[in-house]
Amino acid sequence: MNTVRTGLLIAALTALFGVVGYLIGGAAGMMIALGVAAVTNLFAYWNADKIVLRMYGAKPLDAASGGEFYRIVEGLAGRAGMPMPKVYLIDNPQPNAFATGRNPSNAAVAATTGLLQRLNRDEVAGVMAHELAHVRNRDTLTMTITATLAGAISMLANFGLFFGGGDNRNNPLGTIGVILMVILAPIAAMLVQMAISRGREFEADAGGAEISGRPDALASALEKIALAAGRIDNVDAERNPATAHMFIINPLHTQSIDGMFSTHPRTVDRVLRLRAMAAAMGLGEDYGAAGEPMLSGAGRRAGPWG
């Protein structure tokens, strides 16, 4: 099913490429845009994960440098019966995490230093189990390709400001068409993201709770991340908003008008579902911030993460 969804997504974003190209440069512009889309699709399939990790300055960890964090991911992968993914750390004060890669055998998970500094071990395990659930569900290919293609569509639309114009006979709508596409193409790409992301977050929450065995800890982690993400800037995410849907919690500081384009379900709805799962498992509803953060000291930013 996810393979079909991935194919439909790529087709939809490729069509957007063609529409933007047509409104900027007519039939010739559409053909050029479709050619760019074909090359971008192929490149994104093999390299989108590397692009996203590079965007965020993610540093690879191994068993020696990753310490307890690496061991948590290793243990969760074993519980889930999955290949061990590559593990990355992002030096960013906002607590957050994402997964990427085209399949479970070529997957990577990344967490920020802020996540390890603010969450305890059980909560970190819940978050990383959520990301492994995305990998297991093969969501990561769709999510990563979406980030790459949506960003490319936004860039293509912005080119219209420079290469379109009222006296351009190849542009059927003239300057108005160019301006409309500069505004509407990124929004259209965001709507496609929204359509594929919200349901997948609920599925990954349930899968993560199953892998970690602690839906209560994941619920607590989501609450902490959402609260901190609303107060702490993620500069790299603001520069690359097309990647926002990859994170466990939206890393962007959206205004009220932007809420309609949110790629994530409401945190409160996710927490309620996880609390219900915890109650069904007999774990109770009073899990709080028990336990110390994995990293003590807000200034600790390098070295072994055990």
Give me 298's structure tokens: 């807000």
Nearest Cα neighbor of 67 from 10, 124, 27 is 124
Q: Is 131 a catalytic residue?
A: yes
* Type of residue found at 201: E
Exactly one of 123, 131, 201, 223 is catalytic; name it: 131
In whole angstroms, give the CA distance from residue 147 to residue 137. 18
Active site members: 131
